[in-house]
Amino acid sequence: MVLTQIDAPGHEGVWRIEDTKSGLLGLIAIHSTQLGPAAGGVRMRPYDSVDDALEDALRLSQGMTLKNAAAGLPLGGGKAVIIGDPTRDKTPGLLQAFGRAVARLDGRYWTAEDMGMTPSDMAEIASETRCVAGLEQGRHASGDPSPVTARGIFNAIRAVARHRLGSDDLSGRTVSVQGLGNVGWNLCVFLHEQGARLVVSDIDPARTARAEAEFDARVVVGDAIFDVEADIFAPCAIGGILDADRIDRLRVKAVAGGANNQLATAEDGHRLHRRGILYAPDFVANGGGIINVATEILRIDARETWVADKLAALDATMDRILRAAKARDVSPHHVAEAIVADVLQQDAA
């Protein structure tokens, strides 16, 4: 396994990982360790190129700095990506080689699950490094973070409903959900329990068929999710989906979902605001997962109470952001960024 540091302005360190024996090609990006060790999951995707993977790693690790600070965690921002198809290319050898790369960073980066990764993959990585969370076994094991992520997003949906629709009662409200994976599915369970009507899309037809059967969801195919008339849109698949064209197409009053980096550019936050669509900043809405993961990194004993307290604090932060955005007539995304900048500045002082 060869770990080579590469130049990436604005980041504390970025490394390319290559292991010819297992076929591992990936990157670890540390954006900031100002608040603590950089923490953020590892994502495995069949990226088209190393440049695409690098771009994703840089954006995601920066997003983790924002997310961890917004959640009040003593953790910095980092992320790893592995280039490959998780259903075909993921082997124990590849995961172990990745674990050796994490170990070489000597506690500066902690990894966990992201897209394409499971708790059993984390166990494989843990055979080579202690800096891995999201395990299923061990005194502080936190397991799959997705249910807590989904709980946080559900709270964010209620917050935007309260601010934009006048009530956080979701019964009879329509929520469109893009992506029915670990996060999207758990979110649909909560929404269905509350009597929300669901419109869903996923590139995997088996998942949409199941949602139709279990939640009486209406299924739309592909990009049609952006044209659905609904109260709230919850993006729970991939990032960069809210660009000028799609924002123009949206027929919803609010957006609150789990995907990282939903805005294609920072300007898209203003675009949503100008269209009167209330946007729950993604790095606040989806902070539940890292809160769950943090219990393992920080060795928290009273896990459940700690997670519940942090989720309640995150909910209060979201409420404060949405109130401030309304009072100042600005995009919540920019209020949230300013709040995080304050946290980092106060820490540096």
Q: Looking at beta carbons, which pairs linking 49-52 to residues 24 or more positions away fall under 8 Å?
A: 50/16, 50/25, 50/83
Amino acid at 161: A
Residues 205-224 that bind ligand NAD (CB under 6 A): 207
Residue type, 27: L
Question: Of these residues, 21, 67, 79, 253, which one is catalytic?
Answer: 79
The upper half-sphere exposure of residue 147, i.e. CA atoms within 13 Å in the direction of its Cβ, equals 7
Measured from the CB atom, is 30 or 64 closer to ligand NAD?
A: 64
The letter for the amino acid at 144 is D
Confirm or reject binding of residue 134 to ligand NAD (CB under 6 A). Answer: no
Q: Does 62 bind ligand NAD (CB under 6 A)?
A: no
Binding segment toward ligand NAD, per CB under 6 A, in 31-39, 102-110, 173-181, 247-255: 173-181
Q: Does 65 bind ligand NAD (CB under 6 A)?
A: no
149 lies in the binding site for ligand NAD (CB under 6 A):
yes
Give the nearest distance from C-beta 274 to ligand NAD in angstroms.
25
> Is 79 known to be catalytic?
yes
Q: CB 204 → ligand NAD: shortest distance, Å?
A: 4
| Binding of residue 125 to ligand NAD (CB under 6 A) | no
The DSSP bridge partners found for residue 177 are 200, 234
Q: How far is the CB of 61 from ligand NAD (least distance, A)?
A: 12
Burial of residue 150 (number of CB atoms within 10 Å: 0-12, 13-18, 19+): buried
**232-235, strands of its sheet edge to edge:** 218-219, 197-201, 174-178, 232-235, 254-255, 278-279
We find the least distance from the C-beta atom of residue 235 to ligand NAD, in angstroms, to be 8
CB nearer ligand NAD, residue 32 or residue 176 = 176
x/- contact string, 242-271, with ligand NAD (CB under 6 A)? ----------------xxx-----------
Q: Residue 261 and residue 282: Cα distance in Å, rounded?
A: 7
Question: Which residue in the set 22, 33, 182, 295 belongs to the binding site for ligand NAD (CB under 6 A)?
Answer: 182
For ligand NAD, which is the closer residue by CB, 186 or 331?
A: 186
Helix (H) and strand (E) counts in the chain: 12, 13
Residue 345's contacts (CB-CB under 8 Å, 6 or more residues apart) are: none
- What distance in Å separates the CA atoms of residue 11 and residue 126, rounded to the nearest whole number? 26
The answer to the question of residue 201 lying near ligand NAD (CB under 6 A) is yes
The footprint of ligand NAD (CB under 6 A) covers 114-115, 145-146, 149, 178-184, 201-204, 207, 236-239, 258-260, 286, 289
